[in-house]
Structure 1
Amino acid sequence: MKKKALIVWGGWDGHQPEQVAEIFKGILEEENFQVELSNSLDSYADKEKLKSLDLIIPHWTMGEIQKKYVLNISEAVASGVGLVGCHGGMCDSFRNNVDWQFMTGGNWVAHPGNDGVEYTVNIKHSSSPLLEGLSDFKIVSEQYYLHYDPAVEVLATTRFPVYHGPHAANKVVDMPVIWTKRWGLGNVFYCSLGHQANIIAIPEVSLIMRRGFLWSAEGKKRAEELDVAAIYGNVRAYTGMGDSQ
């Protein structure tokens, strides 16, 4: 039986969400996924449908989302559905929703120098085999400065500052580029690369996303072996999501 993936694209057109979504669709179909494309956030309205998926891939920048939709996604991911995204399509999606940021592991705050900055992606040796065989590589794009969850496992970094600005008065920092996170029984994967479709098409970036898709989709199998309802049945209670703050 084919695994099922939902790609929801939209928001700011500068990130070429439709073109990136099509590239993701092609990668997933090569891996024998059944893929649904949507350009509506209402695709998150049916919680039971979301729970039936293996993978949710948001690619939506600078939008607003109903709180209940984020709670639906959170419950689906906690039950074992994978969550994968890149660049502003996942970690600059909904700036006013802290629940989204809690689940995804971080949020964008700046890209000093804007587009066209040359920087190095440094692959980390870690417990994860996801980037095995990849070497450090240079890229010319936006270099994302992120506020991120200390619970994430960082798989690759980039060094700041590269571009001058007020942030350069601080010490040198290694900022995460790629990370993984657990959300209940679900696997969350994020890569800050992917400003536009041409960046996603770079072989290293395409391979990184492919591996992220496959790894994140493994959570569903693990969940089938456990009593998910007993462990993570009440996402609202164990995260505080949906509170009035």
Structure 2
Amino acid sequence: MSRALVVRGGWDGHRPVEATDLFLPFLEANGFDVRVEESTAVYADADEMAATDLILQSVTMSTIERDELQGLIAAVRAGTGFAGWHGGIADSFRNSSDYLQLVGGQFATHPGKEPSLVVGDASDNYLPYTVEITELGRAHEITAGIDDFALETEQYWVLHDDLIDVLATTTHPVRLWHPWHRPITSPVVWTRLWGEGRVFVATPGHSPEVLRDENVRTIVERGLLWASRTA
């Protein structure tokens, strides 16, 4: 039986417990023995990490100890899969450049509504946008058969490198109240090969409601299976 490790915590605004609970039955139905941890301390347990086939992380911001991060990176390099969504993987451990290198992309911002529409809650950053499947994505097992689709939630602006394989993108348009002067395209779904391991990231997932979207949920479920140890 394959082993999955769910690590959750950090900023509670992303509801890491409720969000990851959505996928526990899926993992179990697909043959995973699932262990859930509320702390990254487990990453420093070399024996546990070596026996883990897939890590699902949902830890927004927060910090990580040096031995924990070294354990995570070593495990992925040795073949453990690493997967997640939104800030739980793409906005974790902002003070660690080594973590950023592992993931390949980092949340920078989520542009907001026109100032006169701002009401002072999370919805200020909910914008309608389109997730566009790339040519690579149309052939990839994670996103094959999924057409471009619309969401109204946080539209992540991501800083990234060229070692990621982008399966879907979104474009931030020019608006009068924002400072940029031409449209900016950001990755929405990507994969990354790191040593013997696989990394999967999807930026939608601000709330369980977004994760319940049929397209988002399908992409996350396929991404979890894709990332799991292959050898």
CA contact (8 A) 2:106 2:159 kept: yes
Q: Kindly tell me: are residues 26 and 164 of structure 1, through their superposed partners in 2, closer, same or farther at Cα, counting changes over 3 Å?
A: farther
Deviates further, 21-30 or 185-194: 21-30
**Per-residue deviation, 1:173:** 2.1
Equivalent residue number for residue 233 of structure 1: none
Q: How many residues align?
A: 218
Q: Please say if residues 21 and 37 of structure 1, whose CA atoms lie closer than 8 Å, have aligned partners that are also in contact.
A: no
In 2, distance between residues paired with 1:102 and 1:165?
32
2:170 aligned to which of 155, 158, 161: 158
Q: Deviations over 1:204-229 (max 9, x none)?
A: 11110111011111x342xxxxxxxx
In percent, how many aligned pairs have the same letter?
Answer: 36
Looking at structure 2, the residues matched to 28 and 163 of structure 1 have their Cα atoms a distance apart, in angstroms, of 41
Q: Which runs of 5+ in 2 are unaligned?
A: 113-123
Partner of 1:198: 209
Q: Distance in 1 between matches of 2:140 and 2:147?
A: 15
Q: Does 1:14 align with 2:24?
A: no
Give the whole-Å Cα distance in 1 for the aligned partners of 2:96 and 2:79. 22
Alignment partners' CA distance in 1, 2:77 and 2:59: 21
- 2-structure distance, mates of 1:95, 1:180: 20
1:115 paired with 2:125, answer yes
Question: Mind listing any 5+ residue stretches in structure 1 that lack a counterpart?
Answer: 222-245
1:65 counterpart = 2:99? no
Aligned-residue CA RMSD (Å):
1.4
Give, as a single letter, the amino acid of the residue that structure 1 aligns with 2:190. W
Q: Confirm whether residue 178 of structure 1 aligns to residue 155 of structure 2.
A: no
Partner residue of 1:101?
Answer: 100
* 2:141 aligned partner: 129
Q: Structure 1 length normalisation: TM-score? A: 0.85
Counterparts of 1:109 and 1:46 in 2: how far apart (Å)? 31
Aligned twin of 1:81: 80
